């Protein structure tokens, strides 16, 4: 079975895999949405995140980071009381706090996308061996970025969460070589092939 076979587990996963996962993101609003979804997903299934995505968008102003950064305790109460919303005050507070940190990064670098893409030199990384299914849960790159984000005040951004984010926003192309998306993304965007980087495999985590 190839790595991308997870896309067959539900219609929501198939659509997400075929149209979003691994497509390079250079829009800060969408980047914030991807990062927030990964934070909200911690300990839960990704399929659940996709099913609740419209609820999240409603709760967090379509992931308008400037508006979310201004949320207060009343907004937290409103969000936690929204039907279908996950009941995690810590995660809701993290998304709001992360929006404030997101603005600080934008002020320093011009955009959050410029900041995060600087970690890959502006290119999508294809790590050797990943296209044949040897895909880690984290690696050296996600660890370095995780540490940087935490120093900047971000929460729920451990190296495993960050690795998933790098896959989602196209900084890492982890589609299986037999997957049409692998070929399309490799041909359509600037890419670089690199050796494996301090990888932690699923059985090691």
16 is catalytic: yes
Query: pLDDT-derived band of residue 205, with 50, 70 and 90 as boundaries?
Result: low
Task: Tell me how far CA of residue 177 lies from CA of 126, 129, 134, 157, in angstroms.
Answer: 10, 10, 11, 28
Express each pLDDT in 17-62 by its tens digit. 999 999 999 999 999 999 999 999 999 999 999 999 999 999 999 9
Residue 204 scores a pLDDT above 80:
no
**Helices 73-80 and 89-109: angle between axes, nearest 10 degrees:** 130
Residue 100 scores a pLDDT above 50:
yes
46 is catalytic: yes
> The whole model's pTM is what?
0.96
38 is catalytic: yes
Of 38, 117, 127, 163, the active-site residue reads: 38
Express each pLDDT in 127-145 by its tens digit. 999 988 889 999 999 999 9
> In DSSP terms, which residues pair with 200 in a beta bridge?
138
Note the pLDDT of residue 3. Answer: 87
Of 46, 117, 127, 163, the active-site residue reads: 46
163 CB-near residues (< 8 Å, 6+ apart): 136, 137, 138, 139, 141, 142, 172
Note the pLDDT of residue 1. Answer: 47
């Amino acid at each position: 079975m190839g790595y991308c076979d997870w896309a067959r587990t539900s219609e929501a996963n198939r659509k997400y895999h075929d149209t979003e996962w691994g497509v390079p993101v250079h829009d800060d609003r969408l980047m914030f949405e991807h990062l927030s979804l990964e934070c909200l997903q911690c300990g839960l299934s990704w399929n659940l995140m996709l099913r609740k995505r419209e609820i999240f968008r409603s709760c967090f102003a379509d992931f308008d980071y400037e508006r979310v950064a201004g949320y207060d305790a009343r907004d937290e109460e409103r969000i936690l009381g929204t039907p279908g919303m996950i009941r995690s005050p810590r995660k809701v507070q993290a998304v709001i706090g992360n929006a404030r940190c997101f603005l600080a990064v934008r002020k320093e670098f011009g955009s959050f996308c410029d900041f995060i893409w600087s970690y890959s030199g502006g290119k999508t990384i294809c790590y050797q061996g990943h296209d044949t299914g040897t895909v880690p849960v984290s690696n050296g790159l996600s660890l370095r970025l995780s540490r940087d984000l935490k120093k900047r005040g971000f929460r729920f951004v451990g190296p495993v969460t960050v690795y998933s984010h790098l896959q989602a926003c196209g900084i890492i192309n982890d589609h299986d070589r037999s997957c049409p998306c692998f070929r399309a993304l490799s041909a359509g965007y600037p890419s670089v092939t690199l050796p494996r980087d301090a990888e932690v495999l699923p059985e090691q985590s």
